[in-house]
């Protein structure tokens, strides 16, 4: 009996070694050939059962098992659900035959076991792992719009209980080998592979007739059955909590909760069938395709350096200078120090510079308090940040990042002062969010070594950095910027220079479309609620408050000035004019001042400013649900259209940068797979027709030019 994705060897000692080794692949995956091999393996073990004393699962790869074949998932159509169910049931039947063979089965985890890989490990009666913190274990399927469907939900619920399993199933929380040992999910840790094998043989010797816990007579679910008071109380509020968090936009999370609860009420085999039915339904849906495309294929394209210029050695600066010790600059310093990179945090006075350093101290204090950082590590981290008011302290920096106020003159001044302090081959970067990099680079003497590094606030929480290539930025500088972003643990996207680049430009359409709706008389509560129900993190008016209405007005004034310098009159949008009126007529500058679209009382929660109703809202008699749907469509389409324009204009160069950038920087809903994926998931012709309808109603912001439509057609094959 031959196998193509695994090797089977039964030794004279009765130990059946099963080594997973998918050919021509760096990892093992649940491809159809592997599923067939698992059925054949169950047959082989059954045939050899009299000679088998135990079974050891291991891997020939650096990881144990990577999980599902996600390319296959993208190819599924709705009519494929019955076949998907049948395939899942065939695989589970093979799993069940192996674990009920009456012989001990052990899995040796010398690397990551994620998703289907962890479910394969759960077939074993015992799991032993190398004691390496970097090894990740668990079931992250929900983050890809999928559910664990190869017994993962059923087994984790029975191993940890309904409450205990919830974060590892519904949130996709991963865990280290040490945490797995603490949870009882692995039975031992080892320093070497040889120790793992010894542990396996010892377990087999001591448990000649091993069975799964739920197959033992008298088994009781940890934490209590669902009818126990504590569990029942949790289940009563769980649906409402899930809806409050996911707003019904993520079918996978709902399906996991259903499978956990329904499965806990029935026998094991029935529970696994429930799991199969729910996965078969979810995996053929559009939300799954969107999320798999974004959070697996797009993110892996970025990690593999698809947008990085090739032919240059990987680069990491030894010393980074940061100009401006405000929240942004201090956050950048923290990001550097956390990755072991020394940095100089400079401001106009030592007092301000130290205030910024104190902010980084507070961030590390929180990590220590939550046991995510050892005090000794905190001392080493903070020692890497040197606060100063002296320009000469920047001498010898490989990279200098200016993070001062969005004023072209100020940025030019600090660039002229600091650039000479760079090493001979050092590079200079601006953290501007809107001002074109090519113009800012003129303040320096080496525009080819000038690049944009657009961080997002708060830096310690925001994973994305937008790298902006100026007109004269050379390839080596761009490659170094890309490497630097990777070195500090952030996700890099690369865009070409333009006003607002990609993220700020598209973000601006979201908030200004919200402001335009208010100007048109739509009630503010409806705008804010509809945005959240569409999957945006917060409503556009609240976002404007958080970023400061006065800053938006400053950007507007700078834009008018720039256009005027070119002899052009800038036509402000309806939303921009409303924000300007909020600041100049009503004196409402945003959250920091305690008054914006919302009031922010010293005591109590924020609330929408009553003046919005008096000054802007008009009589409203539209059906609320229909109005909400229209607002959701308008907000999502406006951002997607601007993304398409960025693609057509060459600001964006790839779909993966468009999708990941829109999700991680702007908060475009994850269920869509990103702003560009949203276009194709809607159906391109339908998207074009809807955009025309919106343009007829709401103006040129929704117009798709022939050039943009042509670009969307050319990128369609990627999706």
In a domain, 301, yes or no: no
CATH code for the domain of 641: 1.10.1040.50
Question: Quick one: average pLDDT of 591-595?
Answer: 94
Per-residue pLDDT band at 718 (split at 50, 70, 90): low
| DSSP codes joined into one string, 199-212 | HHHHHHHH-TT---
Question: Domain limits at 518?
Answer: 503-618
pLDDT at res. 382: 97
> C-alpha dihedral over 140, 658, 254, 632, to 10 degrees?
160
**Residues of the chain above pLDDT 90, percent:** 89
Per-residue pLDDT band at 1 (split at 50, 70, 90): low
> Which among 197, 173, 158 has a CA at the least distance from the CA of 56?
197
Rounded CA separation 598/590 (Å):
8
Q: Are residues 123 and 244 in the same domain?
A: yes
Q: Are residues 27 and 121 in the same domain?
A: yes
Encode pLDDT of 77-100 as tens digits: 999 999 999 999 999 999 999 999
Rounded CA separation 362/365 (Å):
5
Q: SS3 of 499, please?
A: coil
Question: Quick one: average pLDDT of 251-270?
Answer: 95
Encode pLDDT of 559-578 as tens digits: 898 899 889 999 999 999 99
Q: SS3 of 293, please?
A: helix
Question: Quick one: average pLDDT of 500-524?
Answer: 95
pLDDT at res. 284: 95
Phi, psi dihedrals of residue 708, rounded to the nearest 5° = -65, -45
Asked if residue 89 lies in contact with residue 42, where contact means CB atoms within 8 angstroms, the answer is no
Q: Are residues 43 and 64 in the same domain?
A: yes
Structure tokens at 286: 């559009």
Q: SS3 of 628, please?
A: helix
Q: Are residues 182 and 210 in the same domain?
A: yes
CATH code for the domain of 125: 3.90.226.10
Domain count, the chain: 4
Question: Quick one: average pLDDT of 482-506?
Answer: 96
Question: Quick one: average pLDDT of 211-240?
Answer: 81
Question: What rounded mean pLDDT belongs to the chain?
Answer: 94
In a domain, 306, yes or no: no
Q: Are residues 464 and 360 in the same domain?
A: yes
C-alpha distance from residue 568 to each of 406, 560, 563, 571, 645 (Å) = 22, 9, 5, 9, 21
pLDDT at res. 223: 84
Q: Are residues 513 and 587 in the same domain?
A: yes
CATH code for the domain of 398: 3.40.50.720
Phi, psi dihedrals of residue 344, rounded to the nearest 5° = -110, 120
Long-range Cβ contact pairs of 563-568 (< 8 A, separation 24 or more): none
pLDDT at res. 67: 83
Residue, of 214 and 2, whose pLDDT is higher: 214
In a domain, 641, yes or no: yes
> C-alpha dihedral over 595, 596, 601, 606, to 10 degrees?
180
In a domain, 297, yes or no: no
Please compute Rg for the chain using Cα positions.
Answer: 28
C-alpha distance from residue 27 to each of 36, 295, 557, 679 (Å) = 18, 18, 54, 32
**H or E segment at 342?**
strand 342-346
Q: Are residues 139 and 240 in the same domain?
A: yes
C-alpha distance from residue 665 to each of 122, 167, 294, 433, 493 (Å) = 37, 25, 14, 12, 10
Question: Quick one: average pLDDT of 109-122?
Answer: 97
> Which among 280, 285, 286 has a CA at the least distance from the CA of 92?
280
In a domain, 302, yes or no: no
| DSSP codes joined into one string, 641-664 | HHHHHHHHHTSB--HHHHHHHIII
Rounded CA separation 696/688 (Å):
12
| DSSP codes joined into one string, 554-600 | HHHHHHHHHHHHTT------HHHHHHHHHHHTT---BGGGTBSSEE-
Rounded CA separation 697/182 (Å):
59
pLDDT at res. 459: 96
Residue 719 has pLDDT above 70, yes or no: no
In a domain, 120, yes or no: yes
Per-residue pLDDT band at 229 (split at 50, 70, 90): confident
> Which among 432, 409, 408 has a CA at the least distance from the CA of 501?
432
Name every residue whose Cβ is closer than 8 Å to that of residue 389 and which is 6 or more positions away in sequence. 346, 347, 348, 349, 350, 352, 353
Q: Are residues 468 and 596 in the same domain?
A: no
pLDDT at res. 562: 85
Task: Characterize the bridge pairing of strands 126-130 and 105-109.
Answer: parallel
Q: Are residues 412 and 344 in the same domain?
A: yes
Question: Quick one: average pLDDT of 537-565?
Answer: 92
In a domain, 311, yes or no: no
> Which of the 8 DSSP states describes residue 294?
I
pLDDT at res. 263: 95
Asked if residue 693 lies in contact with residue 493, where contact means CB atoms within 8 angstroms, the answer is no
Q: Are residues 630 and 534 in the same domain?
A: no
Encode pLDDT of 411-441 as tens digits: 999 999 999 999 999 999 999 988 899 999 9
Domain boundary among 476, 496, 516: 496
Question: Quick one: average pLDDT of 17-35?
Answer: 95
C-alpha distance from residue 215 to each of 125, 155, 210, 320 (Å) = 11, 11, 10, 59
Rounded CA separation 525/613 (Å):
10
Domain boundary among 260, 284, 308: 284
Domain boundary among 261, 284, 307: 284
Encode pLDDT of 274-288 as tens digits: 999 999 999 999 999
Asked if residue 387 lies in contact with residue 356, where contact means CB atoms within 8 angstroms, the answer is yes
Q: Are residues 128 and 242 in the same domain?
A: yes
Encode pLDDT of 391-404 as tens digits: 999 999 999 999 99
Task: Characterize the bridge pairing of strands 319-323 and 137-138.
Answer: unpaired
Exposure on the CB side of residue 375, measured as CA atoms within 13 A:
1
**H or E segment at 489?**
none
Q: Are residues 103 and 144 in the same domain?
A: yes
Task: Characterize the bridge pairing of strands 342-346 and 319-323.
Answer: parallel
Rounded CA separation 476/448 (Å):
9
Encode pLDDT of 627-686 as tens digits: 999 999 999 999 999 999 999 999 999 999 999 999 999 999 999 999 999 999 999 999
In a domain, 292, yes or no: no
Asked if residue 535 lies in contact with residue 671, where contact means CB atoms within 8 angstroms, the answer is yes
């Amino acid at each position: 009996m031959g196998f193509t994705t695994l090797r089977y060897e039964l030794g004279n000692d009765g130990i059946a070694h099963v080594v997973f080794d998918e050919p021509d692949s760096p990892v093992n995956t649940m491809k159809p050939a592997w599923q067939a091999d698992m059925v054949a393996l169950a047959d082989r073990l059954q045939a050899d059962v009299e000679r088998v004393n135990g079974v050891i699962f291991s891997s020939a790869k650096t990881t144990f098992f990577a999980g599902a074949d996600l390319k296959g998932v993208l190819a599924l159509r709705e009519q494929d659900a019955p076949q998907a169910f049948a395939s899942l049931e065939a695989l589970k039947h093979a799993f069940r035959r192996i674990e009920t063979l009456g012989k001990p089965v052990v899995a040796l985890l010398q690397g990551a076991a994620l998703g289907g890989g962890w479910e394969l490990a759960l077939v074993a009666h015992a799991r032993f792992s190398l004691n390496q913190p970097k090894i990740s274990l668990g079931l992250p399927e929900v983050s890809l719009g999928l559910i664990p469907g190869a017994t993962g939900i059923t087994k984790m619920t029975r191993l940890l209980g309904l409450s205990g399993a919830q974060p590892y199933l519904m949130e996709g929380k991963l865990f280290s080998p040490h945490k797995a040992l603490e949870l009882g999910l692995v039975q031992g840790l080892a320093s070497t592979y040889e120790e793992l094998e010894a542990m396996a043989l010892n377990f087999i010797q001591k448990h000649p007739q091993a069975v799964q816990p739920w197959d033992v007579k008298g088994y009781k679910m940890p934490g209590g059955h669902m009818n126990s008071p504590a569990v029942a109380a949790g289940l009563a509020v769980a649906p409402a909590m899930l809806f409050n968090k996911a707003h019904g936009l993520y079918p996978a999370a709902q399906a996991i909760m259903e499978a956990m609860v329904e499965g806990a009420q029935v026998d094991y085999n029935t529970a696994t069938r429930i799991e199969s039915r729910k996965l078969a339904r979810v995996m053929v849906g559009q939300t799954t395709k969107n999320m798999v495309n974004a959070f697996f294929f797009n993110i892996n394209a970025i990690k593999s350096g698809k947008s990085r210029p090739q032919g240059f050695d990987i680069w990491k600066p030894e010393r980074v200078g940061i100009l401006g010790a405000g929240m942004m600059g201090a956050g950048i310093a923290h990001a550097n120090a956390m990755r072991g990179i020394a940095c100089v945090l400079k401001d106009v006075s030592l007092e301000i510079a130290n205030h910024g350093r104190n902010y980084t101290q507070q961030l590390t204090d929180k990590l220590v308090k939550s046991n995510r950082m050892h005090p000794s590590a905190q001392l080493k981290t903070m020692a890497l940040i040197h606060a100063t008011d002296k320009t000469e302290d920047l001498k010898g920096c490989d990279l200098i990042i200016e993070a001062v106020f969005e004023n072209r003159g100020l940025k030019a001044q600090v660039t002229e002062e600091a650039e000479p302090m760079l090493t001979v081959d050092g590079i200079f970067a601006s953290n501007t969010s809107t001002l074109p990099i090519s113009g800012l680079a003129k303040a320096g003497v080496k525009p080819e070594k000038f690049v944009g590094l657009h961080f997002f606030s708060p830096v310690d929480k925001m994973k994305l950095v937008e790298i902006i290539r100026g007109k004269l930025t050379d390839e080596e500088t761009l490659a170094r910027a890309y490497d630097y972003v990777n070195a500090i643990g952030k996700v890099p996207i690369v865009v070409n220079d333009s006003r607002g680049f990609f993220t700020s430009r598209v973000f601006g359409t979201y908030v200004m479309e919200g402001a335009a709706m208010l100007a048109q008389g739509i009630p503010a509560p409806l705008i804010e609620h509809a945005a959240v129900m569409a999957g945006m993190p917060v409503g556009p008016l609240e976002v404007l408050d958080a970023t400061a209405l006065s800053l938006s007005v400053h950007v507007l004034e700078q834009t008018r000035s720039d256009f005027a310098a070119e002899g052009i009159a800038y036509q402000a949008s309806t939303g921009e004019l409303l924000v300007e009126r909020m600041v100049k007529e009503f004196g409402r500058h945003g959250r920091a001042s305690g008054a914006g679209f919302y009031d922010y009382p010293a005591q109590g929660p924020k609330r929408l400013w009553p003046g919005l109703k008096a000054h802007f809202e008009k009589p409203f008699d539209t059906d609320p649900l229909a109005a909400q749907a229209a607002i959701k469509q308008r907000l999502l389409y406006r951002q997607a259209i601007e993304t398409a324009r960025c693609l057509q204009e060459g600001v964006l160069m790839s779909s993966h940068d468009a999708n990941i950038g829109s999700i991680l920087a702007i908060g475009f809903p994850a269920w869509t797979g990103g702003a560009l994926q949203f276009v194709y998931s809607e159906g391109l012709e339908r998207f074009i027709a809807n955009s025309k309808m919106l343009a007829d109603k709401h103006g040129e912001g929704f117009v798709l030019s022939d050039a943009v439509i042509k670009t969307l057609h050319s990128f369609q094959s990627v999706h």
